[in-house]
């Protein structure tokens, strides 16, 4: 009976939502304790954070700006994760993407924006693909752990960029470790004089494309199959090894694209340490977003909002933005607990609710909601 | 031990419905039932993993209620799970002691533990070396460690969940010897199984569950295998009838001189066989004599160095690869369905299309057709009587027999000309195994050639037209079923 199945599904969904809300409430509460301990009034601080994140159209735009690189990094982790790979190297891929994009922006002869900008974005993508591909090739060819290799490649990338912006690519006549500023033809246009740039929409579009690729295409099907059971995918005759290399490249390219988007949308020049750990935060974004591309959009917005709110709070109260990072970390821990520890509680609650409903509305199919392992 | 009106529900599904059960001290009591009949639920309640919703458990004359396996253990009820709960990197002694207090104080007394284990294992004829690592032990030996573990914790009442499912025939004999000696020393054993022959051989009393209810309970002497099968399934199971051989059959699969070296061991040696249209070639043999390696070499899945020639329908296959073999019309039912046959978190539909997702039936322009996939899943669920709450459920939520039906549906959907079926009914109850057998016979009738690898000799005898015996990577004996002698085959399997 579809009506009953629907009711059972509604029960499941509402319990999940309830627990998510409780998790957020608990982490905000814990954050309040930390703030109080640091001598900041939590009530005032939260108000400021909210104002800074969503209080005005300017604040909202700032949130979107902050969410953009996080979303790219989250998608990068998500894509590899769904194939059973752990790409911890988004940080390095962001830097290489930014480097390649900037080089194509600065070194190519002048061109109209509709050629130059896509070309520079593509070069950023290529840079990330290259960096991810190194780890992928080592994994497929030699069986080397992609986790270790991506982490180590992060350092290579970060120091390579440091070298480039203090040496060969340093702005002529400048004293800071940064490149010359990008030509207008390679910069992402901004909206109505705010800091919000078209990179955000590119990130949303990317999330939708990644969702489509994973869930609807035959290639995504192969990737998910290998992610769930690599050996079975091999037995089915799927090209698992080739896909692992390709997935690492695509995963890297998403981070690389995010890297150049950050340069072309916000910084407008390549700088040392321009990423405050977007790549690592992307892992948290992906996990909080349930490694689902659309979930990533929501969690990136949440994290972006906390960032821009943190800046607002610091401006007014002088409390360090680190407080917000503490709240963010608590939130991740609580969410992980919610996912891995409370399964049994949720299941019991669901069964109890369904029994209740059962008595009031007649029959309901428990099978649609509960798992029957007999 | 007694249960009174025991009820367990999952949601509105009743897994155990008012079960009344008496188990006497010092007997071997069989619990029979198909997959999903409620055996595991019952045992989980007795061993403290689940708590009953209604009714009570009476143990040694007193009602008991266990909140955890530890509480049950303290009362002397131990369980040997089908999938062993051992840590491979630890020694036998460490595994046995794990989670226990040894006298007073937090220290692990190695010598004393080893002595105790030796003493216990000796008195019950269980031969285990406490110093060995579990990873070095065979499956049969690991099971003994599990038994020692329960005995060490003072178990008087031991529940064994399908203990023979993972054992080879000689190991089963050994296990039975141990069980008899446990019984002789006053231990009570509950033996969960769906293999009637074994129940008949070892048990004193038998209780049959069907759809969560008690279907029968009687002394073994008052019953027989055929009757039990009928009670268990709720219908008659007829042995497959003799079939006329097909005439004028074309050769489908021909293998000659197949050898395989895997990490320095010659697992296949100069093996040759051929398979014709409408024929079932049964490969008999004790587990681990190269059957798995043969199938893997044929499918191009072997990790070793393979040499020899393979021809499918007359066409030589230079370098076998799973996809190439699928395209040549070879279906494959792997031995380990969880590891090799299914993507467990995916739905039935997504598992069904795993070999055909590229075909225009299921995808166009690299995009999957969700509608067609659902239709295929629906058809398979109806056609194969797969029991599932809905077709969108993950395959991991299905019982083992139903999971195997998903694999069977996928392979037969390919309309294979050759089918490599490895242990196609392992771990399945009589009813579900019969379904699989009927499917295989129907395929044979349509002209499919089937290579049936099974360690259960009865299955081979029931289905095969010809029987080949594998021993240490060679085929040592081939015979038509009509002329086959079970005793001789048994000897050949043992390498004699």
**How many domains does one find in chain B?**
3
| Alpha-carbon span B229 to B193, nearest angstrom | 12
With cut-offs at 50, 70 and 90, classify the pLDDT of residue A238: very high
State in Å, rounded, how far the first CA of chain B is from the last one: 46
More confident residue, B312 or A344: B312
Lowest mean pLDDT among A161-165, A194-198, A259-263, B385-389: B385-389
Of residues B15, B334, B343, nearest to A225 (C-beta): B343
| Alpha-carbon span B144 to B136, nearest angstrom | 14
How close A191 comes to chain B (CA, Å)? 35
Residue B112 has what pLDDT? Answer: 81
Residue of B nearest to A373 (CA): B397
Question: Is B95 a domain residue?
Answer: yes
Confidence check: pLDDT of A372 > 80: no
CB contact under 8 A, A373 and B397: yes
Residue A373 has what pLDDT? Answer: 33
CB contact under 8 A, B11 and A224: no
Confidence check: pLDDT of A364 > 70: no
Confidence check: pLDDT of A367 > 50: no
Of residues B325, B345, B367, nearest to A217 (C-beta): B367
CB contact under 8 A, B11 and A370: yes
Q: How many CB pairs under 8 A join A and B?
A: 104
Question: Which residues in chain B have their CB less than 8 angstroms from residue A229's CB?
Answer: 339, 342-344
| β-pair type (B251-262, B305-312) | antiparallel
CB contact under 8 A, B390 and A368: yes
Interface of A with B (CB under 8 A): 5, 216-219, 221-222, 224-225, 228-229, 231-238, 351, 354-355, 358, 363-374
Question: Which residues in chain A have their CB less than 8 angstroms from residue B15's CB?
Answer: 372, 374
**pLDDT for A173-191, tens place per residue?**
888 889 888 998 889 988 8
Task: Specify whether B314 is located in the same domain as B362.
Answer: no
CB contact under 8 A, A235 and B301: yes
CB contact under 8 A, A221 and B368: yes
Task: Specify whether B369 is located in the same domain as B259.
Answer: no
**pLDDT for B436-477, tens place per residue?**
999 999 998 888 899 999 877 778 888 888 899 988 888 988
Residue A374 has what pLDDT? Answer: 29
Residue of A nearest to B351 (CA): A225
**pLDDT for B88-104, tens place per residue?**
888 888 888 887 766 66
Task: Specify whether B271 is located in the same domain as B254.
Answer: yes
Q: What is the dihedral of CA B95, B101, B102, B105, to 10 degrees?
A: 130
- Give the list of residues 6+ apart from residue A334 with CB closer than 8 angstroms, or none: A23, A26, A27, A30
The residue among B169, B199, B233 that closes a domain is: B233
Task: Specify whether B225 is located in the same domain as B90.
Answer: yes
Confidence check: pLDDT of A65 > 60: yes
In the predicted model, what is the mean pLDDT of chain A? 88
CB contact under 8 A, B399 and A374: yes
In angstroms, what CA-CA distances link B246 with A196, B3, B273, B444, B480?
Answer: 76, 55, 19, 10, 13
Mean pLDDT value of segment A18-42: 86
| Alpha-carbon span B341 to B295, nearest angstrom | 14
| Alpha-carbon span A326 to A312, nearest angstrom | 16
Residue A239 has what pLDDT? Answer: 92
Q: Which residues pair with B312 in a beta bridge?
A: B253, B315
Distance of CA B101 to the CA centre of its chain: 35
Of residues B41, B332, B358, nearest to A218 (C-beta): B358
Residue B20 has what pLDDT? Answer: 82
Q: Could you tell me the strand order of the sheet in which B305-312 lies?
A: B265-276, B251-262, B305-312, B315-317
* Of residues B412, B424, B356, the one with CA closest to residue B384: B412
| pLDDT tens by residue, chain B, 496 residues | 777 777 777 655 677 888 888 888 888 888 887 666 778 788 888 888 888 888 888 888 788 888 888 888 888 888 888 777 888 888 888 888 887 766 666 677 778 888 888 888 888 777 788 888 888 887 778 888 888 888 888 888 888 888 876 676 777 888 888 888 888 888 888 888 767 778 888 888 888 887 777 777 877 777 777 777 777 766 555 555 556 666 667 888 989 889 998 877 888 889 999 898 888 999 988 777 888 899 999 999 888 888 888 999 888 888 889 999 998 899 999 988 888 999 999 999 999 998 888 888 888 888 888 888 999 999 999 998 888 878 888 888 887 788 899 999 999 998 999 999 998 887 777 788 888 999 999 998 888 899 999 877 778 888 888 899 988 888 988 888 888 777 788 777 767 6
Confidence check: pLDDT of A294 > 60: yes
Residue B24 has what pLDDT? Answer: 82
CB contact under 8 A, A229 and B321: no
| Alpha-carbon span A43 to A36, nearest angstrom | 9
Task: Specify whether B219 is located in the same domain as B287.
Answer: no
Residue of A nearest to B357 (CA): A218
CB A218 within 8 A of CB B363: yes
Question: Which residues in chain B have their CB less than 8 angstroms from residue A374's CB?
Answer: 10, 15, 36, 38, 40-41, 399
Q: What is the ipTM of this complex?
A: 0.79
Residue of A nearest to B324 (CA): A237
The residue among B233, B265, B290 that closes a domain is: B233
Question: Is B309 a domain residue?
Answer: yes
Query: Please, what is the angle between helix A240-262 and helix A90-107, to 10°?
Result: 60
Task: Specify whether B198 is located in the same domain as B309.
Answer: no
Lowest mean pLDDT among A103-112, A309-318, B12-21, B301-310: B12-21
Question: Which residues in chain B have their CB less than 8 angstroms from residue A218's CB?
Answer: 357-358, 363, 366-368
How close B278 comes to chain A (CA, Å)? 25
Output the 3-class SS for chain A.
CHHHHHHHHHHHHHHHHHHHHHHHHHHHHHHHHHHHHCCCCHHHHHHHHHHHHHCCHHHHHHHHHHHHHHHHHHHHHHHHHCCCCCCCCHHHHHHHHHHHHHHHHHHCCCCCHHHHHHHHHHHHHHHHHHHHHHHHHHHHHHCCCHHHHHHHHHHHHHHHHHHHHHCCCECCCCCCCEECCCCHHHCCCECCCCCCECHHHHHHHHHHHHHHHHHHEHHHHHHHHHHHCHHHHHHCCCCHHHHHHHHHHHHHHHHHHHHHHHHHHHHCCCECCCCCCHHHHHHHHHHHCCCCHHHHHHHHHHHHHHHHHHHHHHHHHCCCCHHHHHHHHHHHHHHHHHHHCCHHHHHHHHHHHHHHHHHHHCCCCHHHCCCCCC
Question: Is B256 a domain residue?
Answer: yes
CB contact under 8 A, A228 and B358: no
The residue among B371, B392, B414 that closes a domain is: B414
What CATH number is associated with residue B249? 3.40.50.300
CB contact under 8 A, A224 and B390: no
| Alpha-carbon span B36 to B52, nearest angstrom | 17
Question: Is B337 a domain residue?
Answer: no
Of residues B13, B342, B354, nearest to A367 (C-beta): B13
Question: Which residues in chain A have their CB less than 8 angstroms from residue B422's CB?
Answer: none
CB contact under 8 A, A232 and B354: yes
Residue A95 has what pLDDT? Answer: 97
Task: Specify whether B179 is located in the same domain as B292.
Answer: no
Interface of B with A (CB under 8 A): 10-13, 15, 36, 38, 40-41, 299, 301, 321-326, 332, 334, 339-346, 350, 353-355, 357-358, 363, 366-368, 370, 389-390, 397, 399
CB contact under 8 A, A374 and B397: no
CB contact under 8 A, B342 and A354: no
With cut-offs at 50, 70 and 90, classify the pLDDT of residue A351: confident
Question: Is B335 a domain residue?
Answer: no
Q: Is B316 exposed, middle or buried (0-12, 13-18, 19+ CB in 10 A)?
A: exposed
Q: Which domain holds residue B393?
A: 346-414
Of residues B12, B321, B389, nearest to A237 (C-beta): B321
Task: Specify whether B224 is located in the same domain as B141.
Answer: yes
Residue A255 has what pLDDT? Answer: 97
Task: Specify whether B246 is located in the same domain as B270.
Answer: yes
Distance of CA B144 to the CA centre of its chain: 18
Q: Which pair of structure tokens corresponds to residue B65?
A: 């209620």
Residue of A nearest to B297 (CA): A235
Mean pLDDT value of segment A99-126: 93
Question: Is B35 a domain residue?
Answer: yes
Confidence check: pLDDT of A366 > 80: no
Of residues A229, A364, A371, nearest to B343 (C-beta): A229
Q: What are phi and psi of B424, to 5 degrees?
A: -65, -15
Q: Which residues pair with B450 in a beta bridge?
A: B280, B419
Question: Is B340 a domain residue?
Answer: no
Of residues B11, B332, B363, nearest to A369 (C-beta): B11
Confidence check: pLDDT of A211 > 70: yes
Confidence check: pLDDT of A363 > 50: no
């Amino acid at each position: 009976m579809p009506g009953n199945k629907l009711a059972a599904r509604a029960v499941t969904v509402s319990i999940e939502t309830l627990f998510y809300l409780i998790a957020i409430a608990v982490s905000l509460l814990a954050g309040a304790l930390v703030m109080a301990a640091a001598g900041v009034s939590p009530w005032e601080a939260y108000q400021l954070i909210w104002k800074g994140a969503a209080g005005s159209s300017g604040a909202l735009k700032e949130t979107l700006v902050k969410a953009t690189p996080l979303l790219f990094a989250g998608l990068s982790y998500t894509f590899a994760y769904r194939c059973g790979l752990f790409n911890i190297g988004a940080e390095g891929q962001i830097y290489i993407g930014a480097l390649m994009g900037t080089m194509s922006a600065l070194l190519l002869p002048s061109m109209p924006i509709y050629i130059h900008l896509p070309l520079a974005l593509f070069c950023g993508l290529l840079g990330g693909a290259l960096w991810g591909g190194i780890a992928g090739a080592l994994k497929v060819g030699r069986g080397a752990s992609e986790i270790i290799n991506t982490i180590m490649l992060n350092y290579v990338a970060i120091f390579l960029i440091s070298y480039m912006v203090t040496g060969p690519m340093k702005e002529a006549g400048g004293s800071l470790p940064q490149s010359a500023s990008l030509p207008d033809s390679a910069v992402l246009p901004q909206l109505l004089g705010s800091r919000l740039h078209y990179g955000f929409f590119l990130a949303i579009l990317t999330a939708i494309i990644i969702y489509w690729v994973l869930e609807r295409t035959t290639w995504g099907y192969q990737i998910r199959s290998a992610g769930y059971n690599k050996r079975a995918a091999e037995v089915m005759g799927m090209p698992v090894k080739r896909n692992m290399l390709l997935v690492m490249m695509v995963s890297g390219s998403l981070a690389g694209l995010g890297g150049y988007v950050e340069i072309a949308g916000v910084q407008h020049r390549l700088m040392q340490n321009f990423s405050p750990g977007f790549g690592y935060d992307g892992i948290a974004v992906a996990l909080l977003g349930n490694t689902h591309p659309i979930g990533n959009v929501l969690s990136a917005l949440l994290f972006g909002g906390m960032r821009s709110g943190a800046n607002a709070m610091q401006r007014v109260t002088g409390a360090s933005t680190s407080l917000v990072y503490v709240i963010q970390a608590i939130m991740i821990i609580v969410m992980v607990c919610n996912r891995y520890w409370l399964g049994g509680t949720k299941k019991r609650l669901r069964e109890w609710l369904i029994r209740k409903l059962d008595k009031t509305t007649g029959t309901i199919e428990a099978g649609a909601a509960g798992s029957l392992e007999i | 031990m007694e249960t009174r009106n025991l009820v367990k529900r999952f949601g509105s599904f009743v897994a155990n419905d008012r079960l009344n059960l008496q188990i006497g001290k010092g007997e071997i009591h069989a619990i029979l039932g198909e997959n999903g009949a409620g055996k595991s639920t019952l045992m989980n309640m007795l061993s403290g993993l689940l708590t009953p919703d209604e009714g009570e458990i009476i143990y040694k004359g007193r009602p008991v209620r266990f909140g955890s396996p530890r509480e049950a253990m303290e009362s002397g009820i131990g369980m040997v799970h089908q999938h062993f709960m051992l840590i491979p990197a630890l020694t036998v002694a460490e595994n046995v002691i794990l989670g226990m207090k040894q006298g007073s104080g937090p220290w692990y007394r190695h010598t004393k533990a080893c002595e105790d284990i030796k003493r216990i294992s000796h008195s019950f004829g269980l031969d285990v070396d406490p110093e060995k690592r579990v990873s070095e032990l065979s499956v049969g030996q690991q099971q003994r460690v599990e038994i020692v573990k329960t005995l060490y914790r003072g178990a008087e009442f031991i529940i064994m969940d399908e203990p023979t499912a993972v054992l080879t025939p000689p190991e089963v004999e050994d296990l039975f010897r141990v069980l008899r000696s446990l019984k002789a020393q006053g231990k009570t054993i509950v033996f969960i199984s769906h293999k009637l022959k074994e129940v008949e051989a070892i048990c004193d009393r038998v209780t049959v569950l069907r759809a969560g209810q008690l279907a029968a309970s009687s002394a073994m002497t008052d019953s027989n295998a055929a009757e039990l099968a009928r009670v268990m399934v709720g219908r008659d199971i007829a042995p497959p009838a003799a079939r006329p051989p097909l005439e004028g059959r074309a050769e489908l699969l021909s293998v000659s001189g197949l050898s395989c070296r895997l990490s320095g061991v010659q697992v296949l040696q100069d093996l040759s066989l051929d398979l014709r249209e409408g024929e079932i070639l049964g490969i008999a043999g004790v587990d681990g004599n190269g059957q798995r390696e043969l199938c893997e070499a044929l499918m191009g899945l072997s990790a070793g160095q393979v040499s020899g020639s393979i021809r499918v329908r007359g066409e030589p296959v230079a370098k076998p690869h799973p996809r190439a073999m699928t395209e040549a019309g070879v279906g494959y039912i792997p031995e380990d369905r969880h590891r090799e046959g299914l993507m467990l978190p995916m739905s039935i539909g997504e598992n069904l299309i795993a070999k055909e997702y590229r075909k225009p039936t299921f995808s166009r322009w690299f995009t999957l057709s969700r509608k067609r996939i659902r239709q295929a899943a629906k058809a398979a669920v109806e056609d194969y009587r797969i029991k599932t709450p809905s077709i969108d459920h993950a395959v991991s939520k299905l019982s083992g027999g139903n999971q195997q039906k998903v694999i069977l549906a996928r392979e037969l959907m390919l309309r294979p000309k050759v089918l490599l079926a490895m242990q196609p009914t392992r771990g399945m109850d009589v009813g579900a195994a019969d379904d699989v057998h009927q499917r295989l016979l129907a395929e044979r009738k349509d002209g499919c050639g089937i290579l049936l690898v099974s360690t259960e000799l009865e299955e081979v005898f029931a289905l095969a037209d010809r029987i080949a015996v594998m021993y240490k990577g060679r085929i040592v004996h081939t015979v038509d079923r009509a002329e086959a002698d079970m005793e001789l085959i048994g000897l050949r399997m043992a390498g004699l």
